Amino acid sequence: METIRSAYLDEKLEIVKNIDFLKYRSADLPTWCPGCGYFGIVDAFYKACRELDLKHENMVTVSGIGCSGRTPIFINSYGFHTLHGRSIPVASGLKLAREDLTVFAVAGDGDALGIGGGHLPHVARKNINITFLLFDNSIYGLTKGQSSSTTPYEMKTNSHPAGNPDTPLNPIKLALSYGASFVARGYAGDPQGLKQIIKEATLHQGFSFIQILTPCVTFDKENKTWKNLKEKVYDLNLRKEEKNMETAMRMAENEPYGVGIFFQDRQRPHYQEILRNLNKTD
Partner 1 sequence: MKEFNIIIEICGSAGEGTISAGEILSRFMSGQGFEIMSFDSYPAEIRGFGKCVAHTRISTNRIYSPGKLADVLIALNDKHSISQLSALKENGLLIYDSQPPRPHKEDKSVVGWAKPGMISYGIPLNMLAHKAAGNARGMNMVALGAVAALLHVDQHGFTDSIKVRYGKKKQIVIDSNVNSFLEGYNWTEKNIKKIDPHSFKGMTPSKQKEKLIINGNQLVAQAALVANLSFYAGYPITPATKIMEILSRELPKHGGVLLQTEDEISAIGAVIGAGFGGKRAMTATSGPGFALMTEFTGLSVMAEVPAVIIDSQRAGPSTGMPTKTEQSDFNSAVSGGTGDCPRIVLAPTDTKSCYEATILALYLAEKYQTLVVVLLDFFLSNSIRNINIPEKPSSKYLDANIAPDKNDLKDYQRYKITKNGVSPRAIPGTPGGMFFSTGLEHDVYGRPNYSEAGHLEMTQKRFAKFNTVLSEAPAPEISAIDRDEFDIGIISWGSSAGAAHETVMSAQKEGINASSFSSMMVSPFPEKALIEFADKCKKILIPELNFSGQFASFATQILKRPVERLNFITGRPMASEDILQKMRDM
Alpha-carbon distance of 75 to 29, in angstroms, equals 10
Q: How far is the CB of 183 from partner 1 (least distance, A)?
A: 20
Q: How many residues does the chain have?
A: 282
**Helix, strand, or coil here: 2?**
helix
- Window 114-153: contact mask with partner 1 (x via CB under 8 A): ----xx-xx-------------------------------
Alpha helices (H) along the chain: 2-18, 38-52, 87-97, 109, 120-126, 171-178, 191-203, 226-232, 245-254, 271-278
Q: Distance between CA 7 and CA 30 in Å, rounded?
A: 27
By C-beta, is 125 or 160 nearer to partner 1? Answer: 125
Minimum distance, C-beta of residue 232 to partner 1, in the bound complex (Å):
35
Cβ closest to partner 1, residue 247 vs residue 272: 272
Cβ atoms 139, 151 nearer than 8 A? yes
CB of 89 to partner 1, least distance (A): 3
Q: Does 277 bind partner 1 (CB under 8 A)?
A: no
Residues in binding contact with partner 1, number by CB under 8 A:
39
DSSP state of 212: E
Q: Binding segment for partner 1 among 98-106, 149-157, 166-174, 238-246 (CB under 8 A)?
A: 98-106
Among candidates 78, 24, 86, 77, which has minimal Cα distance to 49? 24
Question: Minimal distance in Å, beta carbon 99 to partner 1?
Answer: 9
Show Cβ contacts of residue 268 under 8 Å, excluding neighbours closer than 6 positions: 127, 181, 206
Q: Does 23 bind partner 1 (CB under 8 A)?
A: no
- The binder of partner 1 chosen from 12, 98, 221, 250 (CB under 8 A): 98
User: Please, are residues 203 and 124 in contact by the beta-carbon 8 Å criterion?
Assistant: no
Residues from 26 through 85 that contact partner 1 (CB under 8 A): 26, 28, 56-58, 60, 62, 72-73, 76-83
Cα–Cα distance for residue pair 149/276, rounded to 1 Å: 37
Choose, by CB under 8 A, the member of 86, 195, 199, 224 that binds partner 1: 86
Identify which of residues 95 and 243 has a Cβ nearer to partner 1 in the complex: 95
Q: How far is the CB of 70 from partner 1 (least distance, A)?
A: 8
CA–CA separation, 170 vs 52, rounded Å? 30
Rounded Cα gap, residues 198 and 261, in angstroms: 10
Q: Which is nearer to partner 1, 89 or 145 (CB)?
A: 89
Is there binding between residue 179 and partner 1 (CB under 8 A)? no
Closest CA to 106 of 146, 76, 136, 140: 136
Give residues in contact with partner 1 (CB under 8 A).
26, 28, 56-58, 60, 62, 72-73, 76-83, 86, 88-98, 100-101, 118-119, 121-122, 272, 275, 279, 281
